[in-house]
Structure 1
Amino acid sequence: MTVIDTNSNCSDKVEVLRAKGVTAVGRYYRVVHPEWALTKTEAQKLSSAGIKLFTVYEDTGHNLTLTAAQGKSDGQNALDQAMAIGQPTGTPIYFALEGLPNGYVESDLAAIRKYFNGVQQAIGSKYALGVYSNGLVCETLLDEGICSYTWLSASKAFAGTRDFYRSGRWNLSQMTPLDQDWDKLSVDINEVKTDFGAFAVTGAVAAAGVLAPTVADMAAAAASSGNFYNDVIMADPRFNSPKRIADPELLEPTTRDLVQAVIADAATNGLKLMIFETYRSQARQVALFNQGATKLKQVGVHHFGLACDIVKDINGQPSWKGDFSMLGALAKHHKLIWGGDWGTPGSVHTFVDTDHVQRVTLGRQARLFDGDWYPDANYDPYADLN
């Protein structure tokens, strides 16, 4: 998987991108130098070719006016252009804060917050917010819940960049060398996590000389690279919702079936259970962290549709009172890991979560979060433990 960004229109470069194994292209929204901006036709041609997009708003890398008024203006411009090309709602728009030539520092953060306050006023809940900047800015806006996506610039000497890169909390990280020449297309290459906000537009048309993918092509592509997280969760309009979500449809299908089987078996044994939470967004995780409701800033297995919180149903209301050992026994019977012992009851655990079940072992989580693994329908976490 190769992910690039470029300020050039890629409409006539589809074959070059395919030859290089490109799976996603970062393109600009902007007012200054409009010839660099993503167009609807370009977005459709790339989507037709199976190449996804992610977007960034940038008019200047130098001397950006960091005020709420400027943020609102930039946010409105970005919103108008995103809607014009058909960017799906709920996906992120990154806003570039380069602060060249030396990058932003601690004393700039108050103004940056004002700028993003203006951006938020314009964007509302239509799109998620991302930032392209150094490590200091990325970490601050992520920790404070201002942005849910971060794109780390290639300037490793800027404030906080090396530390934030090592933390692995970024969604995209730009690599050097910059401005590589690919058949007169200037590109930068990026490291990526599973979720970096890539999308395709609808109404796609075939690029010149490129056949639009057939149903068979799309099925083959889904079989080789798709998964429930990429294909369903990322496309859901609630992807960035700060609200609690209890919809079982946002559980990966095998996980959903097993959860429903646990609830049905519990009812047979006289215990009425209910789903309390399925999918959880990074925005909700940050809000819970800021409220002191969790010790984790980064969302975990819930985010991937592989975990569910199941509580007792007392007259239609959720309850955490009493013993949850029956949930643990039923979870194991149905090959789900229970948060009461994390699949290893003989071990000492510093954290237990007795209303939580998941279809992934603790040891497999790092690969899940890094985006290089997702369970298939036959995955058995207890076999994985052994």
Structure 2
Amino acid sequence: MEDIAQFFLEKLMIDERYGIAKPVDDQTLLLPRFLNTLEVCVDIYKQKYPNQSVTFAETYRSNSLQYKYFQQGASKIKADGMHHYGIAADSIFIINGKRTYKGDVMLLRKIYVDNGLTILGMWDALHVQLIPVGQQMQLRNAVSSKIKAFQNQQGIPVTGLVDDITVAKARSVFS
């Protein structure tokens, strides 16, 4: 959890897209060890289907976009979903040069699980994340603790919340 919290503080909070209310598909916003595992999974999938590939329609997701999805009924999470921490991605196939959801979903899901990743129910069939649902609260607490320690270290109000002061300070320290 520590590396995820550190990645959130040093990489995601300072990114110009932090807070943007549009989908982001930039794979550099995924925790490196998670991205490495995803790449292994894609390579395994391509062994079975050499004329197909897999990429990611959404990687990082801001809380404002997460809440929008929640209001639309497209998500069960209001805020601080796993996309927000760079440890979730929504897969999409590339077949004949076009993005599609019509690849071998069941095989891809099996490959993810076989490689230690977490999938959700078929209601979100191509979502994959690093940690199980049961560990999400532990992650949120670890991030809050990391934010509080950073705030304390920087002499700004210690709230554990990612406010404008904290983001600005993180940008000045880690950019």
Asked whether the two chains share a fold, i.e. TM above 0.5, the reply is yes
With the length of structure 2 as denominator, give the TM-score of the two structures. Answer: 0.70
How far apart are 1:353 and its partner, in Å? 2.0
Pick which of 288-297 and 230-239 moved more: 288-297
Distance 2:76 2:96 in 1: 31
- Give a deviation string over 1:151-200, Cα, whole Å, max 9, x none: xxxxxxxxxxxxxxxxxxxxxxxxxxxxxxxxxxxxxxxxxxxxxxxxxx
Bigger Rg, which one? 1
- 1:362 is aligned to 133
Distance 1:232 1:324 in 2: 31
SS at match of 1:310: strand
The change in CA–CA distance for 1:290 and 1:330 in structure 2 (over 3 A counts) is same
Q: Is the 8 A contact 2:93 2:103 kept in 1?
A: no
The change in CA–CA distance for 1:323 and 1:268 in structure 2 (over 3 A counts) is closer
Distance 2:103 2:56 in 1: 17
* Match runs of 1:120-139 below 5 Å: none
Q: Is the 8 A contact 2:29 2:60 kept in 1?
A: yes
- Give a deviation string over 1:188-239, Cα, whole Å, max 9, x none: xxxxxxxxxxxxxxxxxxxxxxxxxxxxxxxxxxx99961111111111111
Q: Percent identity?
A: 30
Distance 2:104 2:48 in 1: 14
Distance 2:80 2:5 in 1: 21
Distance 2:144 2:109 in 1: 26
Q: Which runs of 5+ in 1 are unaligned?
A: 1-222, 341-350, 375-386
Q: Is the 8 A contact 1:246 1:277 kept in 2?
A: yes
The change in CA–CA distance for 1:292 and 1:224 in structure 2 (over 3 A counts) is closer
Amino acid aligned to 2:18:
F
Q: Which runs of 5+ in 2 are unaligned?
A: 146-175
Distance 1:284 1:330 in 2: 29
More strand as a share of residues: 1
1:313 pairs with one of 75, 94, 97:
94
The change in CA–CA distance for 1:288 and 1:317 in structure 2 (over 3 A counts) is farther
1:264 pairs with one of 6, 31, 43:
43
How far apart are 1:322 and its partner, in Å? 5.7
Distance 1:355 1:366 in 2: 22
Distance 1:224 1:337 in 2: 18
More helix as a share of residues: 2
Using CA pairs below 8 Å that are at least 6 residues apart, which structure has the higher relative contact order? Answer: 2
SS at match of 1:371: helix
- Give a deviation string over 1:113-139, Cα, whole Å, max 9, x none: xxxxxxxxxxxxxxxxxxxxxxxxxxx
SS at match of 2:140: helix
With the length of structure 1 as denominator, give the TM-score of the two structures. Answer: 0.34
Amino acid aligned to 2:44:
D
- 1:336 is aligned to 117
* Match runs of 1:42-61 below 5 Å: none
Distance 2:78 2:64 in 1: 10
Pick which of 238-247 and 330-339 moved more: 330-339
SS at match of 2:65: helix
SS at match of 1:283: helix
Q: Is the 8 A contact 1:367 1:373 kept in 2?
A: no
Moved over 6 A (4+): 223-226
